[in-house]
Structure 1
Amino acid sequence: MADLDALAERVRGAIPLTRHLAFRFTGFDGATLTLQAPLAPNHNDKGTFFAGSQVALLTLAGWACTTLIAESLMADTGHPHTPVDVVAVEGSQNYRLPLDDDLTLTATVTEDSRRRFRERLTRRGKATLTVDARATNPAGATVCEYQGLYLARLNG
């Protein structure tokens, strides 16, 4: 199981903006990452969750999901200390509803995408991965949908 607190600290250390989002990773099962963030530090002038914070968190969740999958793959192949560099290549989001409460986010990768990603990363040392994410309110209604493409490269 991935150390999600350590990953969050790694993110906060590398990307100062993320310190202000007050997010926390709450789960990862090998295909789906969950993240939560409070409204208080992320609200806009209307008292709802700022769209900029949402897209930052969605992008971050996609990056983290890709990173965890790539690092897990390296551990599974006997190379747990091989550094993996992940970058966002593209992303798009659709805002569905205003959010006047805390945010829960799930970032997911299909089994077929993970399989192709693993094959390419181990064969070529780099691979892209598509991550789908959904932000919800406490009642479970979708407030934002996101799809991002990430590139992972092995650095060892």
Structure 2
Amino acid sequence: MADLEALAERVRAAIPLTRHLAFRYTGFDGDTLTLTAPLAPNHNDKGTFFAGSQVALLTLAGWSCTTLIAEAVIAGTDRPDRAVDVVAVDGAQQYRLPLEADITVTASPAPDQRDRFAERLSRRGKATLKVHARATNPAGDTVCEYQGLYLARLAD
């Protein structure tokens, strides 16, 4: 099981903006990552969840999901001590509804992506992963959808 609190601390130390989002990882089942964030520090002038905060959280969820999967792949190789560096390559989001409450974001690899990603990362030392993320309100309605492409590469 991934140490989500350690990952959150790593993220907050490396990316100062994330400290202001007040996000919290709530789960990772080996495939899907879930995080939450409150409305209070992320609202806009209309009292709804700021679009910039939403896309930051969706991008972060995709990066985090890719990082956790890549680290699990590397842990199963003959060099489990190698560090993995993940970067966002591309992303697009669509806002569906205004959000007047806290947000929940789930992110997971696109269908049929994980095995190819694991094989290429193990063999080549780098691989891309398409990730789908969805932001929902407390009722479970989709407020924003996101698709991102992430590159993972092994550090020397």
Q: TM-score, normalised by structure 2?
A: 0.98
Segments ≥4 residues shifted beyond 4 Å: none
Rounded to whole Å, the distance in 1 between the matches of 2:110 and 2:145 is 16
TM-superposed deviation, 1:104: 0.3
Q: Which runs of 5+ in 1 are unaligned?
A: none
Alignment size in residue pairs: 156
For residues 67-146 of structure 1, what are the structure 2 equivalents within 5 Å? 67-110=67-110, 112-146=112-146
Task: Name the aligned partner's letter for residue 21 of structure 2.
Answer: L
Kindly indicate whether the alpha-carbon contact (under 8 Å) linking 1:101 and 1:138 is maintained by their aligned counterparts in 2.
yes
1:4 is matched with 4
**Using the alignment, how far apart are the partners of 2:108 and 2:122 within structure 1?**
21
Contact 1:49/1:101 (<8 A) preserved: yes
Structure 2, unpaired ranges of 5+: none
Q: What whole-Å deviation, never above 9, does each CA across 1:117-146 have from its counterpart, x for those lacking one?
A: 011111110000000000000000000000
Residue in 1 that maps onto 2:43: 43
User: Is the 8 Å Cα contact of residues 31 and 110 (structure 1) preserved in structure 2?
Assistant: no
Q: Indicate the percent of aligned positions where both proteins have the same amino acid.
A: 78
Residue 44 of structure 1 aligns to a residue whose secondary structure is: coil
Report what 1:55 is aligned to. Answer: 55
Q: Which amino acid aligns with 2:7?
A: L
Please provide the CA RMSD for this pair.
0.9
Q: Matched residues in 1 for 2:126 and 2:31: separation?
A: 19
3-state SS in 2 of match to 1:20? helix
TM-score for both structures, normalised by structure 1: 0.98
* Structure 2 residue identity aligned to 1:18: T
Q: Which residue of 1 aligns with 2:20?
A: 20
What is the alpha-carbon distance in structure 2 between the residues aligned to residue 54 and residue 78 of structure 1?
38
State the shift of 1:112 in Å: 1.8
